[in-house]
Amino acid sequence: MKLLVTGGCGFIGANFIRYYVKKHRSCAILNVDKLTYAGNLQNLEGMEERKNYRFVRADITNAAQMRQAFRRFRPDAVVNFAAESFVDRSIAAPAAFLKTNFLGVGVLLNCALEYGATRFLQVSTDEVYGSILKGKFHERSVIDPSSPYSASKAAADGLVMAFHRTYGLPVLITRSSNNYGPYQFPEKLIPLIISNALNHQKIPVYGDGLHVRDWLYVGDNCRAIDLVLHKGRTGEIYNIGAQYERTNLYVVEKILRILNKPLGLIEHVKDRPGHDRRYAVSITKIKKQLGWQPSVSFEAGLSKTIDWYEHNRSWIENTRTGAYRSFYRKYYSGLGLKNF
Ligand SMILES: NC(=O)c1ccc[n+]([C@@H]2O[C@H](COP(=O)([O-])OP(=O)(O)OC[C@H]3O[C@@H](n4cnc5c(N)ncnc54)[C@H](O)[C@@H]3O)[C@@H](O)[C@H]2O)c1
């Protein structure tokens, strides 16, 4: 099989490629990534030595580049991870989110149709459902996104389904909860806590910190995506979650305790506008239809993650470039956080 992966130099994409090449040794992979600030070739170090893996630097919103990649590689299947993925940045500057997360998906769908891909898996998010205070969203729940990021992902889900209904494209959508694990860019909560704590820097926590997320170890998500890609029913959506709900504050305090750092590093900042209070998805469908369930406990996943960041401090420093620093200095000082 030939698999075209987009966004493979980002967090989940890189973990997925590493997982996939071990599991499906004869499969050829083409990784298409623009290498934005979040894409990092180091995430796939060693991979270029494999005969059946290739990387192309290209932009999914560029139709000519994508047509060339599809024409040359002729993939049987496509998994689209490529996205602008950080909610805070979508609030500060939404345009890139609309372009990549919606228009880019349109370009990929057109190519998949034109070059006859037999599976197209769109990696979406539980954030498309919006906030829920009690109960859980299932795959047929109404989507009600709150941020420009989640709205762009929700719009893309609509387009993916439209290509299925209108042109018969064999599509699949996964909507996972918050992932954590190695190679996650340290603007997202868990790697931000770990890397700031290791550097004895303040840790910004939005509002009261009681926003609830369901923390999924990235390896479990990769396993689920692989299963949906191969065994999922086309035209269907699959929620993926760990069923491990905790508040942001709980997660920050837990990591500080593990690292033996003072809770005084926590600094509450002005809440994020439109901040969803709780995300929660039911995973009954993927459990019943595909037999998937999470296998890594939060304790085990967190311990692997902390260990990885402790042993890869230069990776952290390489991601925190001048552009990163200037964006966040401005962003967090606007929220009232000093000494970031
Ligand atoms: N991280 C999470 O907790 C989470 C949860 C649910 C869903 N998702 C979804 O999973 C996918 C991957 O998320 P992630 O956390 O790995 O993101 P990430 O930001 O770490 O990686 C995104 C990758 O996409 C690439 N990219 C961005 N724009 C591109 C473009 N125009 N053309 C080609 N490549 C481009 C970047 O260079 C980067 O390598 C996203 O679609 C995201 O919406 C993430």
Tens-digit pLDDT profile for residues 154-181: 999 999 999 999 999 999 999 999 999 9
Residues in the chain: 340
Q: Which residue has its alpha carbon closest to ligand 1 atom 27?
A: 83
Instruction: Please state whether beta strands 212-214 and 245-247 pair in parallel, antiparallel, or not at all (unpaired).
Output: antiparallel
Q: How far does the chain reach from its first CA to its final CA, in angstroms? A: 47
**Overall number of domains in the chain:** 1
Answer whether residue 152 is part of any domain.
yes
- 194-215: buried (b, 16+ CB within 10 Å) or exposed (e) per residue? bbbbbeeebbbbbeebebbbbb
Q: Report the alpha-carbon distance of residue 149 to residue 59 in Å, rounded.
A: 18
Answer whether residue 293 is part of any domain.
no
In contact, 252 and 195? CB cutoff 8 Å: no
State the Cα angle at 186 between 331 and 253, rounded to 5°. 90
pLDDT tens digits, 326-339: 666 677 677 666 55
Backbone φ and ψ of 102, nearest 5°: -110, -60
In contact, 198 and 310? CB cutoff 8 Å: yes
Catalytic annotation on 127?
A: yes
Answer whether residue 30 is part of any domain.
yes
The tokens for 148 are: 């420009």
In contact, 127 and 176? CB cutoff 8 Å: no
Answer whether residue 110 is part of any domain.
yes
pLDDT tens digits, 217-250: 999 999 999 999 999 999 999 999 999 999 999 9
pLDDT tens digits, 34-62: 999 999 999 999 999 999 999 999 999 99
pLDDT of residue 331: 72
Answer whether residue 307 is part of any domain.
no
The set of residues, in sequence order, having a beta carbon less than 8 Å from that of 269 and lying 6+ positions away, is: 204, 205, 206, 207, 332, 335, 336, 337
Out of 59, 126, 187, 276, pick the active-site residue.
Answer: 126
H-helix or E-strand spanning residue 171: strand 171-176
| Mutate which of 12, 121, 216 for ligand 1 pocket (most atoms within 8 A of beta carbon) | 12
pLDDT tens digits, 82-106: 999 999 999 999 999 999 999 999 9
Q: Report the alpha-carbon distance of residue 71 to residue 57 in Å, rounded.
A: 16
Q: Which residue has its alpha carbon closest to ligand 1 atom 12?
A: 81
- The number of the ligand 1 atom at minimal distance from the alpha carbon of 8 is 39
Instruction: Please state whether beta strands 212-214 and 28-33 pair in parallel, antiparallel, or not at all (unpaired).
Output: unpaired
What range defines the domain where residue 61 resides? 2-180+217-240
Q: With bands split at pLDDT 50, 70 and 90, how would you rate the model's confidence at 206?
A: very high
- 271-309: buried (b, 16+ CB within 10 Å) or exposed (e) per residue? ebeeebebbbbbbebbeeebebebebebeebbebbbebb
Answer whether residue 105 is part of any domain.
yes
Q: pTM of the entire structure? A: 0.96
The CATH number for 110's domain is 3.40.50.720
Distance 261 CA to ligand 1 centre (A): 31
Answer whether residue 108 is part of any domain.
yes
Answer whether residue 199 is part of any domain.
no
The tokens for 237 are: 């959506």
- Maximum distance among all Cα pairs of the chain, rounded to whole angstroms: 57
pLDDT at 324 over 70: no
Give ligand 1 pocket residues (Cβ under 6 A): 6-7, 9-13, 33-36, 38-39, 59-61, 81-85, 100, 104, 123, 125, 153, 176, 178-179, 185
